[in-house]
Amino acid sequence: MIVDAPSVPPLVYHPRASQDASIFNIEAIIREINKSGARMRGQVILDKVFHTPFGRLHCLKGMFNSHCDLINEGEGDATPLKNKVKGLL
């Protein structure tokens, strides 16, 4: 059985005034990385939900909870994603 890999949106480059990482802006850079990761995880989950037959969606619960936990651990909020998935179902 061949399984298609989930599509991942291309990264969008946002130029900054200063590209230097320093002790003064490293926390802002880490927050931005966490946000980007959360957006990508959210897109992977939504793609998976769209491409999974309705009768098999219950099989995604573990993966969904795992991704939401990782989003929350990265100082993100998985609540909007949870609401969007509930709305789809």
Higher per-residue pLDDT: 18 or 76: 76
pLDDT at 15 exceeding the cut of 80: no
pLDDT at 10 exceeding the cut of 80: no
Percent of the chain whose predicted confidence (pLDDT) is above 90 = 0
Residue 3: the pLDDT is 55
Mark out the alpha helices in 1-89 (DSSP H runs). Answer: 26-51, 61-73, 79-88
CA distance 25 to 29: 6
Distances (CA, A) of 18 to 23, 35, 67: 13, 19, 32
Distances (CA, A) of 71 to 2, 11, 37, 45, 76: 28, 18, 8, 12, 5
Residue 19: the pLDDT is 56
Q: Which tens digit of pLDDT belongs to each residue from 73-87? A: 876 788 888 888 877
Higher per-residue pLDDT: 81 or 10: 81
